Amino acid sequence: MREGPMTTAPAPAATRPARRPSNLVPMLVVAAMVLLLYWPLMLWANVGPAARSLASGADLGCPTALACATQLHNPVLPAPGQFLDGLKTLSLPPTAETSVPYNAVVTGGETLLGLGLACVVGLVLAVLLVLSRSFERATLPWLVASQTVPIVAIAPMLAVLLGQWGVQGFIPKALIAAFIAFFPIAVGVSRGLRSPDALQLDLLRTYNATPVQVFTRLRFPASLPYLFTALKVAATAALVGSIVAEISTISFSGLGKMLAENSRASDTIALWVIMLYGALLGVVLVGLVGLLERLVTPWRAAR
């Protein structure tokens, strides 16, 4: 009797891997809520200054404070039309040294370099903290204390110190970014290196694994999720460090330099545009870390 071709039954629903929910829908919901609340918040923030300007006799070209709330020269919160005009003015042409995209690229480069330096220092410190309890007891309090020092005070001092050896421009900002970012990496990775339980360690010892093999085949792979979580925190910290360093030192480009200049000029619309670019730059940096995490730890992305 001739048998027909064998067919494979579909896997039961219970055994199929569940799809991870997309983050796009919640993000769009939050964006829609912000857009809905923006107009009333803008009016509420600007009506007061408009009323005071009209009361002082200023000619704003509008009859009431409510009408003037969308036409202030330096509003507390710019109207959508004002914001779009400022965005266009500061973004085009994008390769100009006075444009926000160009300066965002400069700040992003400083941040990435600082994050790379912080990663190297943080990994080395994490290994030392795990290998030696004496080293941990001696240095961990000082590492914590280093994060309480105001960056605004350190940045000019570091710039002057490095300037004596001719190190200027890009490097001091990256070092300030690394100074802020290394601590979460060191603490996060050290916790990850300690995450394997005693049963896993005993199993490797049963197979006569050397300390190097225990580190490379158990401790370090177990620390990767902690590493990438710490990197996402460190990326935003490094970005803040780069911007603060640009504000606190002599800078010829970067978002911090633009923030300082427009703050002195009291151009609030430009400040909001620059802050938007800074926020988008932070999202891009965290997204790059997330992409790297998917490439390095594909087994976690499949969960």
- Tens of pLDDT, residue by residue over 25-56, are 887 888 889 889 999 999 999 999 999 988 88
273, part of any domain: yes
Q: What is the pLDDT of residue 147?
A: 87
Question: How far is the CA of 154 from the CAs of 150, 231, 289, in angstroms?
Answer: 7, 23, 27
Q: What is the pLDDT of residue 2?
A: 47
Mean pLDDT of the chain: 87
Cis check: omega of the bond before 93, within 30 degrees of 0:
yes
Q: Is this structure's pTM higher than 0.75?
A: yes
Query: Is the per-residue pLDDT at 73 higher than 90?
Result: no
295, part of any domain: yes
Q: What is the pLDDT of residue 200?
A: 87
- The residue to which tokens 């071709």 are assigned: 5
Structure token pair of residue 199: 């049963």
Task: Tell me the mean pLDDT in the region 123-141.
Answer: 93
Task: Tell me the mean pLDDT in the region 188-208.
Answer: 89
Contacts for 125 with CB less than 8 Å, ≥ 6 apart: 139, 143, 182, 186, 190
54, part of any domain: no
Q: Give the number of domains in the chain.
A: 1
Domain housing 189: 100-301
HEC assignment per residue over 73-109: CCCCCCCHHHHHHHHHHHHCCCCCCCCHHHHHHHHHH
Q: What is the pLDDT of residue 301?
A: 59
Task: Tell me the mean pLDDT in the region 2-6.
Answer: 48
What whole-number percentage of the chain has pLDDT above 90? 58
pLDDT range class, residue 19, cuts 50, 70, 90:
low
Whichever domain contains 172, its CATH number is 1.10.3720.10
The residue with greater pLDDT, 62 or 116, is 116
Convert the pLDDT of each residue in 82-120 to its tens digit.
999 999 999 999 999 999 999 999 999 999 999 999 999
Q: What is the pLDDT of residue 287?
A: 94
CA–CA gap between residue 213 and residue 207 (Å, rounded): 11
Q: What is the pLDDT of residue 251?
A: 82
230, part of any domain: yes
251, part of any domain: yes
163, part of any domain: yes
62, part of any domain: no
CA–CA gap between residue 260 and residue 269 (Å, rounded): 14
Eight-state DSSP code of residue 269: H
Task: Tell me the mean pLDDT in the region 205-222.
Answer: 88
Alpha helices in the chain (DSSP H): 24-55, 65-68, 80-91, 100-131, 133-146, 151-163, 170-193, 198-206, 211-214, 220-248, 255-264, 268-296, 298-301
What whole-number percentage of the chain has pLDDT above 70? 91
11, part of any domain: no
pLDDT range class, residue 189, cuts 50, 70, 90:
very high
Convert the pLDDT of each residue in 145-173 to its tens digit.
988 888 888 888 887 787 778 777 788 89
